[in-house]
Amino acid sequence: MFLFHPMDFLIFIAFGLAMWAQSKVKSNFHKYARVQANAQVTGLQVARRILDQNGLYDVTIERSKRGDLSDHYDPRSKTVRLSGPIYSGSSISSLAIAAHEVGHAIQHAKGYSMLKFRSALFPAANLGSRMAPLLLILGIMAEFNQLIGVGIGLFSAAVLFQVVTLPVEYDASRRAKNQLMEMGFVTANEKKGISNVLNAAALTYVASTLIAALQLLKFVMIFAGRRD
């Protein structure tokens, strides 16, 4: 039952969706990385000007050393880290991703509730993602229901973290598109490219959340079946 559970078919489909979403991210990124924005400004310049426009002078911008698509905002140090092509590029992809990461900085500054909730969940989610798989496997192999229950509880925290991440990411993209348009960095014709880049990235979060939710449901069904 553990090796060939009926839920595995849906999980397999979700993995396929995740692979498709990842390929969509890369294809859209590379497609719009070849399209230069009319504003002729770099991701660094866009990020700095949006931050300053929102009074976030204490937020710094660094060039990430982790390679392509390693862009992120670190709330602990109040730092936006942009990968090389985004930091120095002036393409539609560069502007979209730079503005998106600044969107997270704006969320942090404004105390966006879902971001605060996600931060509060992080310790439990981190523990759950590390320990839950081991506890679930051991519990199922040893037929120890209490251990399975603990594993499900920990895994639930990790899944909830991913669920909460969805509105956080979509809100950051919404803020990014609004800032880029309001500040004149992109034209109406370029907005579609910005949306395509950001929407593709959001799909990867949707797919990973779906996989985690289906896996959780599988373990809940196993647990319920053993209790019966």
Give, in order, the Cα–Cα distances in Å from 92 to each of 21, 55, 186, 202, 226.
19, 25, 8, 17, 53
Q: How far apart are CA 75 and CA 119, in angstroms?
A: 10
Q: Comparing C-alpha atoms, which of 117, 51, 84, 100 is closest to residue 202? A: 100
Q: Is 101 a catalytic residue?
A: yes
Strand 79-82 relative to strand 72-74, pairing: antiparallel
Nearest alpha carbon to residue 226 among 138, 133, 132, 139: 139
Which position among 62, 101, 169, 182 bears the catalytic label? 101
Give the span between the Cα atoms of 79 and 125, in whole angstroms.
Answer: 23
Residues 107, 110, 112, 117, Cα dihedral to 10°: 100
Element (DSSP H or E) covering residue 103? helix 92-110
Angle between helices 92-110 and 43-53 (to 10 degrees): 30
Cite the active site residues: 101
